[in-house]
Amino acid sequence: MKYINKFRLELNKVNSIQELEILRIQYLGKKGFILSHIKKLPNLCIIDRKSIGQKINYLKCYIQDAINKKKIEFKNIYIKKKIVSEKLDISLPGKRNDIGSMHPINSMINYIKNFFHTLGFTIIINELEIENQYYNFDSLNIPVYHPSRNSQDTFWFDSNNLLRTQTSNMQIHEIKKHQLPIKIIVPGKVYRKDYDQTHSPMFHQIEGLVIDKHVNFSNLKWIINSFLYSFFGQNIQTRFRASYFPFTILSSEVDVMSNNNVWLEILGCGLVHPDILKRFNINHKIYSGLAFGVGVERLVMLYYGLKDLRLFYKNDLSFLKQFNRSRYF
């Protein structure tokens, strides 16, 4: 009993789990109190050995049980302190974290796709950026002597394959499917050998194509004006100028009036050339088509008043962060 009282006094003085471990070793370790008394048992007579052995075993179990309970007590105290120290006050206002934003080019593409989707256009996602000259030039009535075929303007892999210079190639891919009527919008990357404030070797275009019965230039003007009014506002002035594209007849450039009273070119459009329809056995007396193409970077530059297209591709976060709170298209 005296050993139990002595152990209790020492246990009450323990203030940490480290001190508890020292006390455990003192009593239950290899050189501790219990084992030292067990080693003396063989020197006793059988009667004393049995009586003292039982007392030593009881003391051992008592000490082990008391130490385990004390260890649990210390662990509970540690857990409570940790809960208090790591407690979160959910009523406090949160800290604002900087988040990324969609690139202005992608925002513009999404805006255009969503707008034309409301007009019933099907969005064609096509990653066919390596094209052959048939789809990129020949089938679009672009003659062999046209300057756009020169190596100074086009990225050629060999005499037949190139990086597409326009999304108009998708007109032919869709017409070849011969599933009329056609009403599509095609966003994609295109490539040309230009690099300055308003040109880039890689940029984005969106091609629109409609082939159906009774399609005319009035339909084309309504579609283009609807888009421009939606984008710039109902008060924007637009102008259709006669132009030339090999794959359209009744071709036109479309301009808008800037705040400085200067006409700015926005996009090109026209009625699909009958020769293209004939080439794919579409009766041009029954079906007609319209097409238009718009440069995405051009629209973004006009909207934000930017003068250097190259800013979009420098991955300058100080520049791109400006669009976090700007209008999302």
Residues 195 and 51 in one domain: no
Structure tokens at 270: 């026209």
In a domain, 26, yes or no: yes
Query: Residue 328: its pLDDT value, please?
Result: 44
In whole angstroms, give the CA distance from residue 27 to residue 64: 9
Query: Residue 324: its pLDDT value, please?
Result: 58
3-state helix, strand, coil in the chain (%, to 5): 45, 20, 35
Of the residues 85, 112, 141, the one at which a domain ends: 85
Query: Residue 99: its pLDDT value, please?
Result: 67
* Three-state secondary-structure class, residue 16: coil
Residue 303 is part of which domain span? 104-323
Residues 76 and 128 in one domain: no
DSSP E strands: which ranges in the chain?
A: 122-123, 130-132, 161-163, 182-191, 202-213, 238-245, 248-257, 263-272, 287-295
In whole angstroms, give the CA distance from residue 103 to residue 101: 6
pTM for this prediction: 0.66
Residues 126 and 224 in one domain: yes
Residues 110 and 172 in one domain: yes
* Site of tokens 């067990």: 38
* Three-state secondary-structure class, residue 12: helix
Query: Residue 326: its pLDDT value, please?
Result: 45
Query: Residue 155: its pLDDT value, please?
Result: 94
Q: What is the mean pLDDT of each run of 10 residues along the chain (329 residues)?
A: 77 84 83 80 78 80 86 86 79 70 86 94 87 92 87 91 91 86 93 81 93 95 94 91 93 90 91 93 93 91 83 80 57
* Three-state secondary-structure class, residue 291: strand
Structure tokens at 190: 């295109």
* Three-state secondary-structure class, residue 162: strand
| Closest alpha carbon to 237 in 255, 260, 250, 224 | 255
pLDDT digits (tens, 9 = 90+) for 19-56: 888 888 888 888 888 888 787 778 878 777 778 778 77
| Closest alpha carbon to 303 in 234, 237, 225, 228 | 228
Total domains, the chain: 2
Query: Residue 134: its pLDDT value, please?
Result: 93
Residues 29 and 166 in one domain: no
Burial (0-12, 13-18, 19+ Cβ within 10 Å), 125: exposed
In a domain, 95, yes or no: no
Query: Residue 1: its pLDDT value, please?
Result: 62
